[in-house]
Structure 1
Amino acid sequence: MKTRAITGFFFIIVMLASVLLGPIVFGVFFLALSLLCLHEFYGLNIKSGISVNRRSGFVNAILIYAFFALIVYQQQSAHIEYGFIFLLTLSMSSVFIFELFKISVAPLTNIAYTILGLVFVTVPFTFFNALAFIGQGYNFHIPLAFLLMLWANDTGAYLVGMSIGRHKLFERHSPKKTWEGFIGGVAISAGVGLIISRYYTELSWNHWVIMAVLIGTFGTLGDLVESMFKRSINIKDSGGILPGHGGLLDRFDGFLMAAPIVYTYLYFILNA
């Protein structure tokens, strides 16, 4: 428990610092996190017997992240944009072409899981990066609030579930999760959203609360999806990079599904 607490403390400090230190540190840090999560995802698939193409996956992940980062930074020229589109078409084609030179009993499965890693891991990080630029220029308020509400939901769900949890939420994939924990986590996250609305006025209080509900709901679904994936290959933790916490995928499972949903919601309400 002591190791878990120390790791969690330093992890939160590093995450907060990455958001507060400006757009370059923010973008590079979350690109690095996305690659580490992708590394874990591919590693789990390799353990289960699927021969994913890591090299092509990492190249495509960097190009996808960089391409959308240039768009949201609003600093790209048409030539750079067209150049990235050209590079992306070549790099995505390489996922298929390289499989021609491998001896494999299930080449399409290898291709599918290589691309799935990009969709499941890389794309959500590009949406989270875009949250900081959803207004005019770089603004750390929304990604910081997102992280605070996500952590509040996780902590609230754990504490309420441990205290009064009785009714299983989705026992087949996560035996410890309960409806009481889920509702408690969402409620505490919404409370944090209300507090944030007093200090960050980019959004009205009701939008912060809706954002918290989306994070709590889709964060829980993301957690369940990752649990389903790990159980399907008989793995307990996605990795061991965080002592006492497992792997990075274990810490970002809720983040992966919540980030695209929250960005989409904010994009439409701010551009309505």
Structure 2
Amino acid sequence: MNNIAQRSITGILFLIVIISAIIFSGYLFYLIFLAITFFGLYEFYNLLKINNIRTNYIWGIIIGFALFTSIFIESFNLIDNFSPIVVLPIIFVLFITELYKNNQVPFSCIAYSVLGVVYIALPISLLSSFYGFAGGTSHLLLGYFILIWCFDTFAYLTGITLGKHRLFERISPKKSWEGFAGGTIITLFSSFILSKIFIEISLLNWLVISIIVIVCGTYGDLVESMFKRSLNTKDSGVILPGHGGILDRFDAVFISSPFVYTYMVLITNYEL
């Protein structure tokens, strides 16, 4: 099987899984995105391990699981008066465990362990909250991913067809301004279409979300490229044949999700 066919099959299957998890929500969403959180953290800590950077990956994954679960519980109101703040004590257990290890750089280990949670688990966990911003429907979350896929796909297609001027050559030599422009145009147009389909979210809000996806998604890609380049690796993993790993596929989510979440909190609570 050639790389294009492999990439296409993997991409289609992956889309089906993600869309099904989003639309059916509930525990299917929980299981699928918890698995994504696990594999994302595993790839992150494994890349560091290969480069002889110590982490407490077990506690990092435990904290990531606890954070995802706590935000899911709050978002779906599974427990009355529940707050994700209950995860904080688990984080500080990570500090205590370093006291019992013969580690010359304990705070480096702690820092890298927590970095994995902040960079990967937190942005994915926030996706649960998107249901509440759209009246309990999957419309915001589904639209958010559609915008990401539109930008990624058309930035790639425009880039390989017309790309001449490098966007950020030092970090990602293949990305071009032409690709960025192509992805931007299609993504902005897609936000207009989404406003006609998911009418409970205004065109203005879809436009703002699309701009966040365009800007933060691009930076998310560049940040992940910077991370891999610093560790001298091409792909974060092999779980998605033809696409690399979870970090490669969710790089846009890691940076854009917190910004979309913050924007939705502001317009919901302060009627901006």
Under TM normalisation by the shorter chain, which class is it? Answer: over 0.9
Q: SS at the partner of 2:52?
A: coil
Distance 2:214 2:176 in 1: 14
Matched, 1:52 2:51: no
Matched, 1:210 2:208: yes
Equivalence for 1:233: 231
Overall identity of the aligned pairs, in %: 38
Distance 2:73 2:21 in 1: 19
Q: SS at the partner of 2:174?
A: strand
Equivalence for 2:240: 242
Quote the offset at 1:269 in angstroms. 1.7
Equivalence for 1:116: 115
Task: Give the letter aligned to residue 97 of structure 2.
Answer: F
In 1, are the aligned partners of 2:48 and 2:54 still within 8 Å (CA)?
Answer: yes
In 2, are the aligned partners of 1:69 and 1:130 still within 8 Å (CA)?
Answer: yes
Cα deviation code 1:218-268 (max 9, x no counterpart): 001000000000000101100000111111110001111111111111221
Distance 1:164 1:71 in 2: 46
Quote the offset at 1:30 in angstroms. 1.1
Distance 2:77 2:122 in 1: 19
Distance 1:85 1:214 in 2: 27
Cα deviation code 1:59-97 (max 9, x no counterpart): 11111112222222234224x54xx645x3432122112
Report matched runs for 1:92-107 at 5 Å.
Answer: 92-107=91-106
Task: Give the letter aligned to residue 106 of structure 2.
Answer: P
Equivalence for 1:151: 149
Quote the offset at 1:27 in angstroms. 2.4
In 2, are the aligned partners of 1:30 and 1:129 still within 8 Å (CA)?
Answer: no
Distance 2:23 2:71 in 1: 21
In 2, are the aligned partners of 1:214 and 1:261 still within 8 Å (CA)?
Answer: yes
Equivalence for 1:129: 128
Distance 1:101 1:142 in 2: 45
Distance 1:160 1:85 in 2: 44
Q: Give the TM-score of the pair, scaled to structure 1.
A: 0.93
Cα deviation code 1:29-85 (max 9, x no counterpart): 21221111011111111111111111111111111112222222234224x54xx64
- Label 1:210 to 1:90 Cα distance change in 2 as closer, same or farther (>3 A): closer
Q: What is the Cα-based RMSD across aligned positions, in Å?
A: 1.5
Gaps of 5+ in 1: none
In 2, are the aligned partners of 1:186 and 1:217 still within 8 Å (CA)?
Answer: no
Equivalence for 1:91: 90
Cα deviation code 1:143-182 (max 9, x no counterpart): 1101111000001111111122221111110001111111
Equivalence for 1:222: 220
Task: Give the letter aligned to residue 26 of structure 2.
Answer: P
Matched, 1:43 2:46: yes
Q: SS at the partner of 1:157?
A: helix
Task: Give the letter aligned to residue 95 of structure 2.
Answer: F
Distance 1:64 1:3 in 2: 34
Match of 2:160 among 146, 159, 162: 162
Equivalence for 1:201: 199
Q: SS at the partner of 2:133?
A: coil
In 1, are the aligned partners of 2:119 and 2:254 still within 8 Å (CA)?
Answer: yes
Q: Give the TM-score of the pair, scaled to structure 2.
A: 0.93
Equivalence for 2:28: 25
Cα deviation code 1:95-116 (max 9, x no counterpart): 1122222222322111100000
Quote the offset at 1:24 in angstroms. 2.0
- Label 1:107 to 1:259 Cα distance change in 2 as closer, same or farther (>3 A): same
Structure 1 residue runs of 4+, over 4 Å off?
none
Equivalence for 2:137: 139
- Label 1:151 to 1:135 Cα distance change in 2 as closer, same or farther (>3 A): closer
Distance 1:204 1:85 in 2: 32
Quote the offset at 1:120 in angstroms. 0.2
